[in-house]
C-alpha cells in the first residue's frame, strides 16, 4: 500500500492547509460518531434495525464479514467515513443549486411550472415523479457539471506499472482525476462555461441519459463514490420540494458571484436570499 500523506505534504501551503482542516474536521466528526455508535450499541436490538449504524453493528457482530473484513472495532471508522463523505458534499451541492436558482430566475419559474403541471399543489413531489420532471433532472446534472464542486478526486496510487495512452505511469505514482476539466472539455460540451440545463434534454424534451451519465463528479473506477445514487435522489427530492413550496430571490445588495471558497469541495461564497411561500404550506413545521 502507498501512503499518500507524505506526498500531500509536498504541496504548497494552501493545499496542505485544506487537508489539515479536513483532518481536524474529521477528528471532530469522529468524536461525535463514536458517541452515537456507543448509544446504538446500548439500545441494539437485532430484531429492530433502525438505521445504517444498527445494520453495521449487526453485520460485524453476526460475523458476516470475512476474517480480513470489518470487525467490531471498525464500525466507528466506517460510520465516520460515510457521514464525512456524504454530508459536506450533499450540502455543498445544495448551496450551488440555490445560488444558480438565484442567478437564473426565469429558469426557476420554468422549473416551478414543470412541477405544478406534474405534481399539482395538493401533494408534495416524490421520487416517483422523477421520470416526469426532465427539466428538473437536467438542472441538477447541469449544476453538478457547471460547478464541478469536487474538482479533483481523492488521491490514489498505482499498485503496478501502467501504460495509458502512450504514457508510462510507474508503480507507486499518486494519481487523481481532474473532474473539473472533464466537465469543461469543449470537445465534449459545447460552450462549457455557459450554464444551460437544456444541454441534457433531447429533441423530445426527455433527459438524455448518456449525456447525463458523462458528467463526472463521483470519480471513476473501483473507489468511485458509493453514495452517488443516494445523493442524486436526495438532491432531486430537496430541490423538487423546495421549488414546489417556495420561490427564492436574490438579495439586490449582494453581487451574485460564481467565485468559490476553495477546499476539498468548492463552495459558493456566503450569500443571503429571501424565500417566499408559493402554495399553502404542505410541510408540517
Residue 162, C-beta contacts closer than 8 angstroms, at least 6 positions apart: 168, 169
- CB 192 within 8 Å of CB 216: no
Residue 261, C-beta contacts closer than 8 angstroms, at least 6 positions apart: 267, 268, 269
Residue with cell 482542516: 21
The residue sitting closest to ligand HEM, measured at its beta carbon, is 227
- CB 271 within 8 Å of CB 99: yes
What is residue 201's DSSP assignment? Answer: B
Binding ligand HEM (rule: CB under 6 A), the pick from 53, 143, 153, 183 is: 153
SS3 content of the chain, % helix, strand, coil (to 5): 50, 10, 40
Give the bridge partners for 27, in sequence order: none
Is there a binding annotation on residue 260?
no
If the CB atoms of residues 188 and 224 are measured against ligand HEM, the closer one turns out to be 224
Residue 63, C-beta contacts closer than 8 angstroms, at least 6 positions apart: none
Binding ligand HEM (rule: CB under 6 A), the pick from 37, 225, 240, 264 is: 225
Closest CB 82 distance from ligand HEM, rounded Å: 5
- For ligand HEM (CB under 6 A), the number of binding residues is 20
Closest CB 251 distance from ligand HEM, rounded Å: 26
266 binds ligand HEM (CB under 6 A): no
Residue from 75, 69, 36 nearest 55 by CA? 75
85 binds ligand HEM (CB under 6 A): yes
Kindly identify the residues of this chain, within the stretch 168-187, that bind ligand HEM according to CB under 6 A: none
Binding ligand HEM (rule: CB under 6 A), the pick from 223, 254, 275, 279 is: 223
Closest CB 116 distance from ligand HEM, rounded Å: 27
Which run of H or of E encompasses 111?
helix 105-119
81 binds ligand HEM (CB under 6 A): yes
If the CB atoms of residues 180 and 218 are measured against ligand HEM, the closer one turns out to be 218
143 binds ligand HEM (CB under 6 A): no
Residues belonging to the binding site for heme are 225
Where does this chain bind ligand HEM (CB under 6 A)?
Answer: 81-82, 85-86, 89-90, 93, 150, 153-154, 217-219, 223-227, 230-231
Amino acid at each position: 500500500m502507498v501512503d499518500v500523506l507524505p506526498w500531500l505534504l509536498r504541496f504548497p501551503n494552501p493545499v496542505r492547509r485544506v487537508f489539515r482542516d479536513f483532518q481536524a474536521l474529521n477528528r471532530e466528526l469522529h468524536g461525535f460518531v463514536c458517541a452515537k455508535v456507543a448509544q446504538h450499541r446500548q439500545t441494539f436490538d437485532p430484531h429492530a434495525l433502525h438505521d445504517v449504524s444498527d445494520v453495521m453493528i449487526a453485520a460485524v457482530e453476526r460475523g458476516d464479514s470475512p476474517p480480513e473484513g470489518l470487525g467490531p472495532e471498525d464500525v466507528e471508522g466506517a460510520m465516520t467515513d460515510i457521514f464525512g463523505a456524504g454530508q459536506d458534499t450533499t450540502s455543498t451541492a445544495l448551496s450551488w443549486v440555490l445560488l444558480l436558482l438565484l442567478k437564473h430566475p426565469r429558469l426557476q419559474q420554468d422549473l416551478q411550472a414543470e412541477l405544478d403541471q406534474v405534481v399539482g399543489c395538493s401533494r408534495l413531489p416524490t421520487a416517483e415523479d422523477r421520470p416526469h420532471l426532465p427539466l428538473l433532472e437536467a438542472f441538477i446534472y447541469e449544476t453538478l457539471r457547471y460547478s464541478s464542486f469536487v474538482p479533483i478526486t481523492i488521491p490514489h496510487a498505482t499498485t503496478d506499472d501502467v501504460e495509458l495512452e502512450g504514457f508510462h505511469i510507474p508503480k507507486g505514482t499518486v494519481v487523481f482525476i481532474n473532474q473539473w476539466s472533464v466537465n469543461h472539455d469543449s470537445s465534449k460540451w459545447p460552450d462549457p462555461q455557459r450554464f444551460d440545463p437544456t444541454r441534457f434534454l433531447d429533441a423530445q424534451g426527455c433527459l438524455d441519459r448518456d449525456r447525463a451519465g458523462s458528467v463526472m463528479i463521483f470519480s471513476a473506477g473501483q473507489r468511485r463514490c458509493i453514495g452517488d445514487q443516494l445523493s442524486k435522489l436526495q438532491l432531486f427530492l430537496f430541490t423538487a420540494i423546495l421549488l414546489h413550496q417556495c420561490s427564492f430571490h436574490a438579495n439586490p445588495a449582494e453581487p451574485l458571484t460564481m467565485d468559490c471558497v476553495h477546499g476539498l469541495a468548492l463552495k459558493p461564497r456566503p450569500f443571503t436570499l429571501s424565500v417566499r411561500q408559493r402554495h399553502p404550506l404542505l410541510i408540517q413545521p
